[in-house]
Amino acid sequence: MEANGLAVELAGIWKRFPGVIANAGANLKVRPGTVHALLGENGAGKTTLMNVLAGVYLPDEGTVSLDGVEQHFAKPADAIAAGVGMVHQEFRLIPTFTVSENVVLGSGPPIIAKSTIEDQVAELASRFGLATEPGREVWQLSMGERQRVEILKALWRDARVLILDEPTAVLTPGEAEELGRITAAMAADGRSLIFISHKLDEVTAFCDEATVLRGGKTVAESLPVSELDATRLAELMVGETAEVSQRRTRETDVGSPVLAVEHVVVRDIHDRAIVDDVSLTVASGEIVGIAGVAGNGQRPLADAIAGLIPTESGSVMISGTDVSGTSPRARNMAGLSYVPEDRLGVGLAPRMDVVENSIMRAYRALSKGLLIDRTGASVYGDKLVEDYDVKVGKMEAPVAGLSGGNLQRLLVGRELEVNPAVLVAAQPTRGLDVKGVAAIQQILVRQAAEGVGILLISEDLEELFALSDRLLVMHEGEVVGEFDPDVATRQEVGAAMAGAHKVEET
């Protein structure tokens, strides 16, 4: 160990991508034998910074040091050789290989004796208290077990520094606790762990110190977690000078409810309640915002309302009609429109052209007998493109070639052109440039003024504060708070997003 006694030191890291600065002079210092939390909102630059440490990206400026020695990683293999391991959010395992085969893949002996390897992997696992069955094939495992295989992979390569990118996002609460024990065992062995998270309760439970990133910069470095509380953390993450942009002024009174969701529960394939007893209503002319860190049930909630995934229990009413258990199309006909998070794929068909995508909700009406009325379809497409200001080259070109903003205007336009009673918009402005964001927000505001009820799911707090009449916060599948954007502060909402209610309860 060198003089500064740091296992990892990232100093003044800059990383620019076309149009985006992901890291703007970020710092991180991790002491050996500790679990270090790396916190920040989406887009704060956490994953980029960790990819720099793991050799995936070369930093534009700044230095990476391990145990006081400056490193220059040209490729991930260099970082692995230097003892840095990373468990990505999406696991990189071969489903049809066994646990032990996945663990030794690429770094095993040239001739692999199955039983020997399995014994060695089992021994390694037991050293750190990782419950695993080395002979089982990965496709049979739960997400928690798969994650342990990823951790074993890193340990097999003798990682001294292990990065866990939002490791608990895919875990059940029980598995998350288990992970806490594993990280503690690894730290006790003298290894360092970097734990990327949004969740305050985990940070306080599993971590020793925390570094907070905001806008690509380090805003708090190596704070002891004992000094953290939800309010302080929320302030650090979202910024203290939360200047709320132009608040929408409502022109019409809120009408009758057009969307009523009651006690909806959705479970994933591992029987985890990813939407947990959610109830909400949206009235005509109202914009109800849903805030939350990605992966806290917003997406399955939206898909369940649209009828794309089944609900276990609970009911959905659209304009007074009970549509629980019906098809997406039945809900469309009851007055629901949906702008899904995946605008290309779920929303639009990438390889079909502009006209074909425009008429997806209206083609049945545009048909004459068995044939589609081509003139009517192209008039419909032209009108949509003009009304919603979609910039297209040729109407016959696949929409995959359009920019994000134009795709979204086309999709939003298509969904609004059928005069819905309620619009569910999931992350409608994510990834768009400033102009695109403004255009979509204006469309939403205008539609609300015309009486459409809008459920707006977003990770952008500023947007939610500016547009919403009411603001709900989702955390781990539940609605954990309702705020009035006129009086609530970003800190209050941010704390709810980070799961502060849980910490306070305990």
Partner 1 sequence: MFGYRFIRRERPLPGGQVAAFAAGVLIALLVGAVLLVASGNDPFEAYAKMFDASFGSWRALSTTLTRAVPLGLAGLAVAVAGTMGLWNIGAEGQIIAGAIGAAWIARLGPDLAGPILIPAMLIAAIAGGAILALGPALARARLGVNEIITTLMLNEVAIRVVRYLVNGPWKDPEGQGFPIAPVLPEQSRLPDFFSRANIGVLIAAFVLLIFGYYASRSRWGYELKIAGSSAEAAKYVGVSLKAKILTVLVLSGAIAGLAGGIELTGSADRLVEGVANGWGYAGIIVAALALMRPSGVAAVAVAFGAVQVGGLAIQTLGVPAAISDIIQALILFGALSAAVFSTYKLTRGGLGAAEPTGQDEDARATV
111 or 371, CB closer to partner 1? 371
Q: Tell the smallest beta-carbon distance from residue 400 to partner 1 (Å).
A: 4
Cα torsion angle, 32, 38, 44, 49, sign: positive
- What number of H helices and E strands is found in the chain? 17, 22
Strand 257-267, strand 273-283: pairing: antiparallel
Q: Tell the smallest beta-carbon distance from residue 328 to partner 1 (Å).
A: 5
Q: Which of 227, 226, 234, 175 is nearest to 205 (CA)?
A: 226
Residue spans of beta strands (DSSP E) within 128-230: 161-165, 192-197, 209-214, 217-224
Q: Tell the smallest beta-carbon distance from residue 366 to partner 1 (Å).
A: 9
Based on the shown chain and the rule CB under 8 A, indicate whether residue 449 belongs to the binding site for partner 1: no
Based on the shown chain and the rule CB under 8 A, indicate whether residue 352 belongs to the binding site for partner 1: yes
Selected binder of partner 1 within 19, 109, 174, 393 (CB under 8 A): 393
**Cβ–Cβ under 8 Å, residues 282 and 336:** no
Selected binder of partner 1 within 361, 489, 492, 501 (CB under 8 A): 361
The single-letter DSSP state of residue 351 is T
Contact region for partner 1 (CB under 8 A) — 159-167, 182-190, 211-219, 337-345? 337-345
Based on the shown chain and the rule CB under 8 A, indicate whether residue 244 belongs to the binding site for partner 1: no
Tokens at residue 226, please? Answer: 């004992």
Q: Tell the smallest beta-carbon distance from residue 277 to partner 1 (Å).
A: 26
**Cβ–Cβ under 8 Å, residues 471 and 287:** no
In the region spanning residues 401 to 420, those forming contacts with partner 1, defined by CB under 8 A, are 401
Tokens 């203290």 belong to 240
In the region spanning residues 257 to 316, those forming contacts with partner 1, defined by CB under 8 A, are 306, 308
Neighbours of 110 (CB within 10 A): 4
Total residues in contact with partner 1, by rule CB under 8 A:
33
Neighbours of 126 (CB within 10 A): 11
Q: Tell the smallest beta-carbon distance from residue 350 to partner 1 (Å).
A: 3
Contact region for partner 1 (CB under 8 A) — 243-251, 289-297, 317-325, 396-404? 396-404
**Cβ neighbours of residue 300 closer than 8 Å, sequence gap 6 or more:** 266, 268, 274, 275, 309
In angstroms, the Cα distances linking 308 to 179, 236, 410 are 32, 37, 21
Q: Which of 506, 459, 34, 70 is nearest to 237 (CA)?
A: 459
**Cβ neighbours of residue 201 closer than 8 Å, sequence gap 6 or more:** 499, 502, 503, 506
Contact region for partner 1 (CB under 8 A) — 32-40, 106-114, 149-157, 346-354? 346-354
351 or 383, CB closer to partner 1? 351
Q: Tell the smallest beta-carbon distance from residue 179 to partner 1 (Å).
A: 28
364 or 435, CB closer to partner 1? 364
28 or 301, CB closer to partner 1? 301
Distance CA 29, CA 8 (A): 6
Based on the shown chain and the rule CB under 8 A, indicate whether residue 4 belongs to the binding site for partner 1: no
285 or 405, CB closer to partner 1? 405
Q: Tell the smallest beta-carbon distance from residue 315 to partner 1 (Å).
A: 21
How buried is residue 396: exposed, middle or buried, by Cβ count under 10 Å (0-12/13-18/19+)? Answer: exposed
Residue 238 Rama label (left phi>0; alpha psi -120 to 50; beta): alpha
Q: Tell the smallest beta-carbon distance from residue 127 to partner 1 (Å).
A: 33
Neighbours of 102 (CB within 10 A): 25
Q: Which of 279, 382, 370, 259 is nearest to 322 (CA)?
A: 259
215 or 401, CB closer to partner 1? 401
223 or 372, CB closer to partner 1? 372
Tokens at residue 301, please? Answer: 């909630």
94 or 397, CB closer to partner 1? 397
In the region spanning residues 88 to 107, those forming contacts with partner 1, defined by CB under 8 A, are none
Contact region for partner 1 (CB under 8 A) — 2-10, 128-136, 342-350, 447-455? 342-350
397 or 438, CB closer to partner 1? 397
298 or 332, CB closer to partner 1? 332
185 or 352, CB closer to partner 1? 352
Tokens at residue 76, please? Answer: 């991930």
72 or 127, CB closer to partner 1? 72
Based on the shown chain and the rule CB under 8 A, indicate whether residue 371 belongs to the binding site for partner 1: yes
Tokens at residue 116, please? Answer: 């020997």
Contact region for partner 1 (CB under 8 A) — 235-243, 244-252, 260-268, 326-334? 326-334
**Cβ–Cβ under 8 Å, residues 473 and 291:** yes
- Write out the residues near partner 1 by the rule CB under 8 A: 306, 308, 327-329, 332, 338, 340, 342, 344-352, 356, 360-361, 363-364, 367, 370-372, 374, 393, 397-398, 400-401
